[in-house]
Amino acid sequence: MEIGLNDYQVRARETAAPYLDGVDKLLLGVRADPEGPHDPSVLRDLLRLSYVTLGLAGEAGELANKVKKVIRDDGGVLTPVRARQLIDEAGDCLWYLSELCSVLNIPMSEVAKLNIAKLKERAEKNKLQGAGDNR
């Protein structure tokens, strides 16, 4: 079954209730102060952004750990079992990335389009390698 990025994002969002509820529970006791830093809507966005970013970092770490085990435990051979584990971890990364896009109110396809444009520009300047955001 083919699935586009935006369709995935919509479907993934349907499974986000547990973390969204958790964020809302954290905010129950927050005093509403529209002029101050404790505005619940601002804190809600910050907590959602923090949650999905930390989740993405954690899942990326799990993915990296599985790759490490290809080297350490499997002699550098990517076995079907290990490949499946990597695919599962990549899917978890995708879920958190999807949620990050949802928190930022941007379709995943737009992020993909912007990234391709950035890579194309770098390729045209022969700057695909190197360091720094502004290559």
Name which of 27-31, 32-36, 57-61, 79-83 the model is least confident about.
Answer: 32-36
Q: Decide which of 1.20.1070, 1.10.287, 1.10.260, 2.40.360 is the CATH code for 5-124.
A: 1.10.287
Angle between helices 108-124 and 80-103 (to 10 degrees): 100
Query: What does the pLDDT read at residue 26?
Result: 79
pLDDT for 25 beyond 90: no
The pLDDT, as a whole number, for residue 33 is: 58
The gap from C-alpha 30 to its chain's centroid, in whole angstroms, comes to: 27
Q: Judging by beta carbons within 10 Å of its beta carbon (0-12, 13-18, 19+), is residue 114 exposed, middle or buried?
A: exposed
Domain ranges of the chain: 5-124
Averaged pLDDT for residues 3-11: 95
